């Protein structure tokens, strides 16, 4: 599984439970807080027996997406979903195991595998919710492509054309991220819309014997870009813990890549070494690599600067939530920005980035 556009379009196009009609009414059911109807509809989808019959991964992902809309909705209205509809538990566990992901919906289901247009699955139906879904729809595949381009540099040297090409591709993909944050900042009020209206649908729910976080934009695999670009060989303990928690809610291949590359020299480290060796006259490809890496760090910093603004406006002292929907303290967002800033600063200092990594 990758977030290629054809695969995502196919999952989005599927409606294996025939749930289009009931999901079109979901914002209305939620607005009325109609818990009995929500439980009845979820029960009907599960009791129909169709969820367990899916064998194609696209259908399974679409089923998780659609059942998930009811999990978040019931939880929003104060009901633990599987207490209300116990029959959904085994189905979710089986589907999660079959696709190698958590046994519920994630931000990928809600973002990239959510259809556009009238079939779009929404909790509130508000225009701002659409903007947030689109933010994930646009950024998750771009971030994945950027990470895979960086992963493909393994075994190459920073002064080789293919290394420079890979970094340039990653930089071109990631450039969309600050734009996405700006679009969200321009059209979604973090306090009055996100925190008051949407955040309550993103709570954790119990499935089997543990709780699983809801769809959180933090599960977009930016942690992979960090890991491969600058953090994997000098991990800050708090940052590493956050990354490891986030990997649990992505594609299985992302978690495997994160594990495999832990402790290996990052792109920033090999670039800094190559620059130190090349001295004052680096070749054209090494300069291309350096420019692209600088571009990647600029995009990360621009995104994180804007994103921190959203977080601060949302998670105020009286907002009622101590953690984000991925379970992390809002403070960790500032930590990751600060660490990114530090590494970018080191890399800009003459010879500064070539220091030995910490592991």
Binding mask 42-61 for ligand HEM (x = CB under 6 A): --------------------
Residue 72 makes contact with ligand HEM by CB under 6 A:
no
Say whether residue 180 binds ligand HEM (CB under 6 A). yes
**Stretch in the footprint of ligand HEM (CB under 6 A) among 34-42, 113-121, 322-330, 349-357:** 322-330
| Rounded distance between C-alpha atoms, residue 53 and residue 55, angstroms | 6
Kindly indicate which of the ranges 95-103, 180-188, 291-299, 346-354 contains the residues binding ligand HEM, using the contact rule CB under 6 A: 180-188
Site string for ligand HEM, 189-208 (x = CB under 6 A): -x---x--------------
Q: Is position 17 an interface residue for ligand HEM (rule: CB under 6 A)? A: no
Of 42-50, 167-175, 214-222, 272-280: span binding ligand HEM (CB under 6 A): 214-222
If binding is defined by CB under 6 A, does position 216 make contact with ligand HEM? Answer: yes
Q: Does the protein bind ligand HEM through residue 139 (CB under 6 A)? A: yes
Q: Residue 86 or 320: which CB sits closer to ligand HEM?
A: 320
Q: Which residue is nearest to ligand HEM (CB)?
A: 324
Choose between 247 and 325: whose C-beta lies nearer to ligand HEM: 325
**Closest separation in Å from C-beta 325 to ligand HEM:** 5
Q: Specify the long-range contacts of residues 210-215, CB closer than 8 Å, at least 24 apart.
A: 212/102, 212/103, 212/104, 213/249, 213/325, 213/326, 213/327, 214/71, 214/72, 214/75, 214/104, 214/105, 214/325, 215/68, 215/72, 215/105, 215/106, 215/107, 215/109, 215/110, 215/111, 215/325
Question: In the complex with ligand HEM, which residue's Cβ is closer, 131 or 253?
Answer: 131
Among 324, 339, 347, 354, binds ligand HEM (CB under 6 A): 324
Is there binding between residue 184 and ligand HEM (CB under 6 A)? yes
Indicate whether 187 belongs to the interface with ligand HEM (CB under 6 A): no
Is 135 a residue that touches ligand HEM (CB under 6 A)? yes
How many residues in the shown chain lie near ligand HEM by CB under 6 A?
A: 29
Residue 220 near ligand HEM by CB under 6 A? yes
Binders of ligand HEM among 325-354, rule CB under 6 A?
325-328, 330, 332-333, 336
Site membership for ligand HEM, residue 306 (CB under 6 A): no
Q: Does 310 bind ligand HEM (CB under 6 A)?
A: yes
Query: Which segment (70-78, 97-105, 278-286, 307-315) binds ligand HEM by CB under 6 A?
Result: 307-315
Full 3-state SS string of the chain: CCCCHHHHHHHHHCCCCCCHHHHHCHHHHHHCCCHHHHHHHHHHHHHCCCHHHCCCHHHHHHHHHHHHHHHHHHHHCCCCHHHHCCCHHHHHHHHHHHHCCCCCCCHHHHCCCCCCHHHCCCCCCCHHHHHHHHHHHHHHHHHHHHHHHHHCCCCCCCCCHHHHHHHHHHHHHHCHHHHHHHHHHHHCCHHHHHHHHHHHHHCCEEECCEEECCCCHHHCCHHHHHHHHHHCCCCCHHHHHHHHHHHCCCCHHHHHHHHHHCCCCCHHHHHHHHHHHHCCCCCHHHHHHHHHHHHHHHHHHHHHHHHHHHHHHHCCCCCCCCCCCCCCCCHHHHHHHHHHHHHHHHHHCCCHHHCCCCC
Binding site for ligand HEM (CB under 6 A): 135-136, 139, 180, 184, 188, 190, 194, 216-218, 220, 222, 304, 307, 310-311, 314-315, 323-328, 330, 332-333, 336
């Amino acid at each position: 599984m990758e977030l290629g556009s054809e695969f995502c379009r196919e999952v989005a196009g599927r409606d294996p439970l025939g749930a289009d009609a009931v999901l079109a009414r979901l914002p209305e059911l939620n607005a009325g807080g109609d818990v009995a109807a929500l439980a009845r509809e979820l029960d009907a989808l599960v009791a129909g027996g169709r969820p367990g019959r899916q064998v194609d991964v696209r259908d399974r992902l679409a089923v998780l997406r659609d059942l998930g809309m009811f999990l978040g909705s019931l939880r929003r209205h104060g009901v633990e979903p599987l207490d209300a509809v116990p029959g959904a538990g085994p189905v979710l566990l089986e589907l999660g195991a079959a696709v190698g992901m958590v046994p519920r919906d994630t931000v990928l289901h809600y973002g990239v595998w959510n259809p556009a247009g009238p079939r779009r699955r929404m909790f509130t139906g508000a225009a701002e919710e659409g903007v947030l879904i689109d933010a994930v729809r646009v950024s998750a595949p771009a971030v994945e492509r950027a990470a895979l381009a960086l992963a493909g540099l393994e075994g190459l040297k920073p002064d080789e054309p293919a290394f420079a090409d890979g970094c340039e591709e990653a930089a071109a993909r990631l450039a969309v991220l600050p734009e996405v944050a700006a679009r969200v900042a321009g059209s979604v009020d973090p306090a009055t819309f996100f925190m008051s209206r949407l955040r309550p649908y993103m709570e954790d729910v119990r499935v089997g014997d543990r709780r699983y976080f809801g769809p959180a934009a933090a599960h977009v695999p930016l942690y992979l870009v960090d890991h491969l670009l600058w953090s994997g060989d000098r991990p800050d303990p708090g940052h590493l813990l956050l990354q490891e928690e986030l990997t649990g809610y992505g594609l299985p291949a992302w978690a495997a890549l994160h594990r495999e590359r832990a402790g290996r020299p990052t792109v920033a480290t090999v670039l800094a070494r190559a620059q130190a060796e090349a001295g004052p006259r680096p070749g054209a490809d090494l300069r291309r690599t350096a420019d692209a890496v600088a571009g990647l760090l600029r995009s990360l910093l621009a995104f994180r600067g804007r994103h921190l603004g959203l977080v601060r406006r949302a998670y105020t002292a009286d907002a009622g939530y101590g953690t984000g929907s991925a379970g992390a303290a809002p403070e960790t967002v500032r930590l990751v920005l600060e660490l990114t800033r530090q590494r970018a600063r080191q890399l800009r200092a003459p010879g500064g980035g070539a220091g030995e990594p910490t592991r």
